């Protein structure tokens, strides 16, 4: 499959301003906003962001063509971004960032003016879905549909007041309790009725997703909540030509899993067990201390290994391995998240070996550039005429959404290949296969 | 680039017996031979071997075509393999395996008859190149060329006595002292003269490589020694139509590096430093305790990160990182090799994070299936008409050989893609690009 | 305080045979018995046992008097020990050891005859107290007191049939569910009535303890169960002149805690948090997967740090630290228990540091010599006229029993000093204070 | 051995000012001075210091007498301390602290005035002994004795100019190259002649030690250099009534060793090997990258385990274990020192277990309170009439000095007992033995 040169011209240019709205103005969102502003002021580099720093190889190795992605693909410029947010806690972004404790004063003080000006709109929020947070900056309405309409009005007002050309929404708020897809989520009609009936299977995150799609705004889901991952909203996004993607930013331990597990499988090493424990001390940790929220997260974390390792295809290697994932609220860690993984592998003649990985990571530092990339790529996809689920953005997610009937791809390296070959394809460049036999012509 | 259906028919079938000869009958070689025999007797699974266990996806995801590689590509059958070896220590394979201490009695005793029958031929060996080993089973000759001719005669005799159709050689012996490529290695004429003059830049491993090529036997180089990686022998292999590959089996810590470094780069995370220490207690550890042998190994280990991370292309992320590699002889570890890596990475806004990896691995257990795969794939390549450097086998090596002017590819996942797409190409199947937009047709 | 030379002569000699009975014939008990027999046959050394291997310094450093403890104190000889056990599963010790998977065949086969001959008596057992084990070899009786009387009869029969001089009981069975001390445990009268009334606050482990004391048999409690640690039985032991001790063998992670925490405190380093996780895959792990049994264990594990660090005395250093302990059933680990501890400490000017300890230990291997030492020391204490709680054996326990009103001592090094100074005292030797100014006499 | 009540009255009170002089005004010395000043200003707590924070138990447990050491023993008050230093680099303490990178701006800025005022006197320094440092602030003299006399004059001037009552010197400078004790170090006469002859076996650190003793100033040696640990100076210190102590502050990895090794020995667990690696990125790391300086350090680090474990007394447990210590200069670590230890232990029936300790420590943060304690305790010892080697301060040193013929004591817990019982003894209190049988009176 080769690239199609005509495609390139079909992408609408990134003219005018782009609004990025985040449900949630906590550690992740404020770190994201502070970082973009620091980069704009020349105080910092956008480390961790593919849209800003990565190159993409084009053509043959010997051509030496490797432009920056942002020079290859028409993305919105950082200077053109305007930020907004919703949060049940009324703190402005500066106050929220101070409380989050991710960034140090030397990074926050120089942009205090900028952050202080970002004040959250009242949030769609219910304690039933996130029990450990108690907010006062909350929307009231006669029913859930009414709340959704208020969100739509927020989006329109934000766009108008800031003279924006386009808007993208990226969910940066907490994990909600576990919900199973049901008949309420099957069709848009059922969904709208359920909102009107205040059905308790309609979570606040779904209201944001609905509002986004109805306003033609791409929606990216950074938490494991079902949110936009229900048939009603997927179909609606296709019908209205809106890109959507999710679920759950792939940051620390799971990211590492999707690096190491493909390595084990590449070498056909067996797996007897994988034990993962996490300690974290931020609001996220507190929320996940609630078993109902943890269940949502656990589902998201457990599926990764099976999908990568395919025990059905490799029963001798991967059938019946133990996979235990634990998350513990441990206040001394603050926003720093620490993972310890013990991996029991099996080699030649059944001999056991062990890999232990201790990852001293920073949750919001890893998540912030994902927010940026998803916003810019989703906006680009919108302009390129893509719609519905954006599987090529699987790279950024713990539980990638896919077309019905397809397995989500968890292997970070296949995800990366998919992302880059999609960009090549959309810009009319040849696919890279790494065959390269031409250098050894017989 | 699509596959070429005609290629398929060009591959000669794997009829008759295949001889596998290993210079070195120590821990790696005996573990390899014991394992293959155990698999043949149904006592064990060939874990860690792509030729025996891996599948290869063909066509689109929805076609569900994923045969085993060995059912897709005509490889020699394990039942058709005959083993032989050279070693300066005259122990038979059973005695050598007992001394190596890799396999337990419960795995060695059932195949004692088989292993005891494998007796090493006298080796081309000089203490100058490997100072910590003292052998008695050593070839004598009037000069190095004479020794090389003795090796050629060994190969012919081995083939004849065992009624073999084809032979492959895989270097499984120790690391020699560091040698720089010089004029002696530039052309086959200079090389042959240097052998006759007993030039001290001609190491024993080069004599094996030369003998193999002259006998039309593919040669795979499992140590970091220059060996076949000199212009004289590369050109000779092309001229005579013989596949060659190297250098240095990618087993424990370096393998892990080529898993994790691509992960860091995929996410555009910066690197400040990577400290690696190893403890090992086997003969390999003793040999590497000699600084001259260690230098050869260090060169092989250090290059990996730079080539993957491309500091020239990503100066903000990878310029000037510290890379320290240490190997320590520590007898309590025995054949088990243990690595501890500390990786200092940098994220959004320059915030530091750390990854620490403790790998309790087993050197020979990881190396043995590599020996098998290289032997079978090299034999296959020979039958498929491939010649000279086999870059598609980079997957198995710490320092892959490439065509002059090309950077070696160290990223395990690009290596895997290259290997599988090469197999697809040779068998007339389509290249896999992971684009997959067809499932989301607009 | 100096030693009293007359004391020495008061200790009754260790003549005749000593019976050691263990409730529980699982991993710990069979490893203990197999090891003692191996030592008796000269196949192994009693590593980990103070009674067998440790020396004790007597007098001044320059006197160079450091006899083995067993040459200094009159202990029973290993040759004089006879073993017996109770277990709800009817396997003999050989079968049980094979199932436990602690010892390898090369260690079990040479003593198969010995182990096969040890068959467990029917156990006092109720599923209510240990939910994950299902046994058939269980005593039946009209009420709990009747069961206790059956145990007493077992003890008498065991003594008579084997011609024993003395007996000791060491609890080696599972952790029962959590029980709080209540009025049933306050006096021996209340306790006996409660047994008759089948009170559900009377656990099987208490029946063994009661039976032991009534038969003048020292009782050592290797699990965190209340068992002998109730006022009724403590008083009864004093009245009848029987040594008792407990609770919970101090083996892996907690042992390590009582090594490191005193080190931190010695240097006056602050503690912000200590996170401990365990993975284990044996029957113990399965039992502790039951939250009720885990609660008993957790109580035992959590108290350690507070008692050592004394936050009340050192509020600036130790007030309000986080202490999280997790145990996870993870089958690949088998009987090997692995702990990972993250310790957040604080130094000069409040600067944070971290210690991470990964302990790949073997539960039963660490516990077995404790069983031996407790049996021999308790028997010795009995002969020396000691009675009731043996605080000087705190060294071996996670939750040492003490006289009412005293804090248990958890610091391993104070416990060791206490143990050795007690032996010196009982044998009429001077206390060691490490003052040693005499070598620097002005 | 009981305390002697009369001793107490013999200790001269700590009236007037105490000068603390440090050869070396680098990371350790500036962190020490900054910390003391922060504590004096109420900005920080003296964490890690026994003289400031530790309590000492007196009498029986039930007496509940545990005063702070500083309330029990007459120590100099922090308010009465005056600081001075020598250094070959002329930076004042503020500049040096900034370069050292140990303390953050938020801790340095509030005391900038104080630190800026501390300017180093010219140092006795020769590149021959410390090759990696190049200083300009260096004493010149006709020979080494002349240099020593200049140091003496510095001390007198410092005392006079600051109106001090007493002075103590604590060596806080770099590790010198390895020197063996020779005839030059045997007597004070030989030593003085060697200074005059500019003998190359007389290192600068010895000149400071000599000057201190001649000025009746206690000398504490924080590096592994021989320095004051030569017969000439030991005898001179006794003759002149001056307390001396050394060698090498026990901070990170070795401190941890003296915590864990006594734990292993207490439980009679065998040791097969201990592999220690360190990464550090400060000036100390650079200095130790020089093999000659490393040898001095290695000697200091290796002896610890043998002395604690006594392989001669416990051959079955500790004979022939491997002990490997590596230090690597790794710039990303900065002043933070990180250790990774792998400990191979052996238990019951010879079964192996492993302990791995990863210590993310901060060298100067751990060393600073040691400087304070040694200064205050040495001054106290001086006033209490103690002279020569202060073995009771072994607690603070990697290679404690002892009387000839005695083994140094490395066990941290015996060292602690010795320190506290010495204080009790000097103040006329009873020795603590932890016997405590009185609570269980028969």
Give pLDDT tens digits for D166-206: 999 999 998 888 888 999 999 999 999 999 999 999 999 99
The gap between the terminal CA atoms of chain B, to the nearest Å, is 25
> What's the pLDDT at B7?
56
Dihedral sign for Cα atoms in the order C437, C438, C439, C442: positive
CA distance D101 to D333: 11
pLDDT bucket at B440, cuts 50 / 70 / 90: low
Q: Which domains does chain B have, with CATH numbers?
A: 5-249+365-426 (3.40.50.720), 253-361 (3.30.360.10)
Phi, psi (degrees; rounded to nearest 5) at A424: -60, -45
Label the pairing between strands C18-23 and C166-171: parallel
Q: Using the beta-carbon criterion (under 8 Å), do A433 and B421 form an inter-chain contact?
A: yes
The H or E element spanning position A246 is strand A243-246
User: Does D349 contact C403 at a Cβ distance shorter than 8 Å?
Assistant: no
Q: Which of A1-5, B77-81, B279-283, D418-422 has the highest mean pLDDT?
A: B77-81
pLDDT value of residue C4: 46
Sign of the Cα pseudo-torsion (C289, C292, C293, C296, in order) = positive
Q: What is the pLDDT of residue A8?
A: 61
Confidence tier at B242 by pLDDT (50, 70, 90): very high
For C337, the token pair is 């228990």
What pLDDT is attached to residue A334?
Answer: 82
As a whole number, mean pLDDT of residues B157-174 equals 96
Structure token pair of residue A26 = 């906590």
List the Cα angle B231/B233/B239 in 5-degree steps. 100
Q: What is the mean pLDDT of residues C182-210?
A: 94
Inter-chain contact B38–A362, Cβ cutoff 8 Å?
no
Report the alpha-carbon distance of residue D68 to residue D54 in Å, rounded: 6
The answer to whether A359 faces chain B, any CB pair under 8 Å, is yes
Q: Which residues contact C260 (CB under 8 A, 6 or more apart)?
A: C343, C355, C357, D259, D260
Strands in C197-269 per DSSP E: 219-221, 243-246
Q: Does B400 touch chain A (CB under 8 A)?
A: no
Q: How far is C271 from chain A (nearest CA, A)?
A: 10
Distance CA D132, CA D174 (A): 10
Q: A317–B267: do the CB atoms touch at under 8 Å?
A: no
D247 upstream amide cis, omega within 30 of 0: yes
Using CA atoms of D265, D268, D274, D277 in order, give the dihedral in degrees to the nearest 10.
-40
Of B36 and D432, the structure prediction assigns the larger pLDDT to: B36
Distance of CA B410 to the CA centre of its chain: 13
Q: What is the model's pLDDT at position D7?
A: 56
pLDDT of B441 strictly over 60: no
Tell me whether residues C330 and A275 touch, CB distance under 8 A.
yes
Mind giving me the DSSP string for C237-277?
HHHHT-EEEES-B--SHHHHHHHHHHHHHHTT-EEEEEEEE
Separation CA D324–CA D331 (nearest Å): 22
C328/A356 touch (CB, cutoff 8 Å), yes or no: no
D68 and chain C in contact, CB less than 8 A? no
Helices H / strands E in chain A, number of each: 17, 10
Asked if the model's pLDDT at residue C215 lies above 60, the reply is yes
Give the Cα separation of C115 and D366 in Å (integer): 53
**How large is the average pLDDT for residues C142-170?**
96
Dihedral angle sign, alpha carbons of residues A175, A180, A184, A185: positive
Per residue in D339-382, pLDDT (tens digit) is 999 999 999 999 999 999 999 999 899 999 999 999 999 999 99
Q: Which of A288, A319, A332 to mutate to test the interface with C (most CBs of C within 10 A)?
A: A332
pLDDT for the residue A348: 94
| Residue A331 burial (CB count, 10 A) | 18
Interchain CB distance below 8 Å, D268 and C440: no
Residue C436, helix vs strand vs coil: coil
Task: Supply the mean pLDDT for chain D.
Answer: 90
Interchain contact, A330 vs C356, CB within 8 Å: no
% of chain C surpassing 90 pLDDT: 65
Q: For residue C301, is pLDDT > 80? A: no
| Per-residue pLDDT at C287 exceeds 80 | no
Q: Which residue has the higher pLDDT, B376 or B5?
A: B376
Given a contact cutoff of 8 angstroms between Cβ atoms, the answer to whether B8 and B158 are in contact is no
**Amino acid D2: pLDDT:** 36
Q: With 60 as the cut, is the pLDDT of residue D404 above it?
A: yes
- Residues 99-128 of chain A with CB under 8 A from chain B are 103, 107
**Inter-chain CB proximity C342 and A342 less than 8 Å:** no
Confidence of residue B1 (pLDDT cuts 50, 70, 90): very low
pLDDT tens for each residue of A301-360:
778 888 888 898 899 999 989 999 888 888 888 878 899 999 999 999 999 999 999 999
Confidence class for position C8, pLDDT limits 50, 70, 90: low
Q: For C47-84, write each residue's pLDDT tens digit.
A: 999 999 999 989 887 788 889 999 999 999 999 999 99
- The segments of chain A whose pLDDT lies below 50 read 1-5, 442
Name the minimum distance, in Å, from the CA of A87 to any CA of chain C.
Answer: 30
Q: Is C288 on the interface with A (CB under 8 A)?
A: no
Which chain A residues are within 8 Å of C279, Cβ to Cβ? 275, 324, 342
Please indicate if any CB of chain B lies within 8 Å of the CB of A42. no
Q: Does the beta-carbon distance from A273 to C340 stay under 8 Å?
A: no
- Which of A276, A330, A355, A357 is the best mutation test for C, with the most CBs of C within 10 A? A330
**Cβ neighbours around D383 below 10 Å, total:** 19
Cα B71 from Cα B81, distance rounded (Å): 18
Give the position of tokens 């592999």: D275
Provide the 3-class DSSP secondary structure of residue C213: helix
Question: Within 10 A of B374 (CB to CB), how many other CB atoms are there?
Answer: 29
Is A48 close to B268, i.e. CB distance below 8 A? yes
pLDDT at position D70 is 94
- Does the bond joining C247 to the residue before it have cis omega, within 30 degrees of 0? yes
* pLDDT value of residue D442: 47
What pLDDT does residue D4 have?
46
pLDDT of A358 reads 95
Give yes or no for residue B290 having a pLDDT over 90. no
Residue C442 confidence (pLDDT): 47
Q: What is the nearest CA distance from D161 to chain C, expressed in angstroms? A: 30
CA A251, distance to chain mean position in Å, is 9
Q: How far apart are CA B168 and CA B379, in angstroms?
A: 7
ipTM surpasses 0.85: yes
For the cut 60, the answer to whether the pLDDT of residue B442 exceeds it is no
Choose among C334, D239, D77, C271: nearest CA to A344.
C334
| Partner chains of B (3+ C-beta pairs under 8 Å) | A, D
Residue B249 CA neighbour count, 13 Å, CB half: 25
Binary contact (B275, D326; C-beta < 8 A):
no
d(CA C219, CA C95): 26
Please say if the pLDDT value at position C29 is more than 80. yes
Residues 248-287, chain D: which have Cβ within 8 Å of C?
255-256, 259-260, 262-263, 266-270
- B290-313 burial, b for 16+ CB within 10 Å, e for fewer? bebbbebbbebbebbbbbbbeeee
Distance CA D114, CA D94 (A): 8
Per-residue pLDDT, C344? 95
Best mutation target among C330, C343, C358 (most A Cβ atoms within 10 Å) is C330
How high is the pLDDT of residue C318? 93
Mean of the pLDDT values across residues D67-73?
A: 94
* Mean of the per-residue pLDDT values of chain A: 90
Using a CB–CB cutoff of 8 Å, tell me whether B343 touches chain D: no
Residue C385, classified by CB atoms within 10 Å of its CB into exposed (0-12), middle (13-18) or buried (19+), is middle
pLDDT for residue A3? 38
């Amino acid at each position: 499959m080769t690239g199609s040169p005509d495609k390139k011209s079909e992408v609408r240019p990134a003219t005018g301003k782009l609004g990025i709205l985040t449900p949630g103005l906590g550690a992740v969102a404020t770190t994201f906003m502070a970082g973009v502003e620091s980069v704009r002021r020349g105080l910092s580099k956008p480390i961790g962001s593919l849209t800003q720093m990565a190159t993409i190889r084009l053509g043959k190795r010997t051509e030496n063509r490797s432009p920056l992605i942002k020079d290859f693909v028409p993305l919105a410029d950082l200077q053109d971004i305007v930020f907004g947010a919703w949060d049940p806690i009324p703190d402005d972004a500066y106050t929220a960032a101070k409380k989050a404790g991710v960034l140090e004063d030397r990074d926050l003080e120089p942009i205090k003016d900028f952050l202080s000006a970002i004040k959250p709109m009242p949030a769609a929020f219910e304690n039933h879905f996130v029990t450990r947070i108690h907010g006062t900056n909350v929307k009231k309405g006669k029913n859930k549909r009414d709340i959704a309409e208020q969100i739509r009005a927020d989006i329109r007002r934000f766009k108008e007041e800031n003279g924006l050309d386009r808007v993208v929404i990226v969910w940066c708020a907490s994990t909600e309790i576990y919900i199973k897809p049901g008949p309420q989520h099957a069709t848009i009609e059922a969904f709208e009725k359920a909102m009107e009936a205040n059905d308790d299977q309609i979570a606040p995150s779904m209201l944001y997703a609905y509002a986004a799609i109805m306003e033609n705004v791409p929606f990216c889901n950074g938490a494991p909540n079902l949110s936009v991952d229900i048939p009603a909203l997927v179909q609606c996004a296709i019908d209205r030509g809106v890109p959507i993607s999710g679920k759950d930013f792939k940051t620390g331990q799971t990211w590492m899993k999707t690096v190491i597990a493909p390595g084990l499988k590449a070498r056909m090493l067996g797996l007897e067990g994988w034990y993962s424990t996490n300690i974290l001390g931020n609001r996220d940790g507190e929320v996940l201390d609630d078993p109902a929220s943890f269940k949502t997260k656990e589902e998201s974390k457990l599926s990764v290994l099976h999908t990568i390792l395919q025990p059905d295809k490799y029963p001798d290697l991967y059938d019946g391995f133990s996979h235990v994932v634990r998350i513990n609220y441990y206040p001394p860690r603050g926003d720093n998240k620490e993972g310890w993984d013990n991996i029991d592998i099996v080699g030649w003649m059944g001999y056991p070996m062990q890999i232990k990985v201790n990852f001293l990571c920073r949750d919001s530092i890893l998540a912030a550039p994902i927010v940026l990339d998803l916003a810019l790529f989703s906006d680009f996809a919108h302009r390129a005429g893509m719609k519905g689920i954006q599987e090529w953005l699987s790279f950024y997610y713990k539980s990638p959404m896919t077309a019905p009937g397809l397995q989500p791809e968890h292997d970070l390296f296949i995800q990366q290949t998919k992302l880059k070959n999609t960009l090549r394809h959309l810009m009319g460049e040849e696919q890279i296969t790494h065959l390269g036999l031409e250098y050894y012509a017989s």
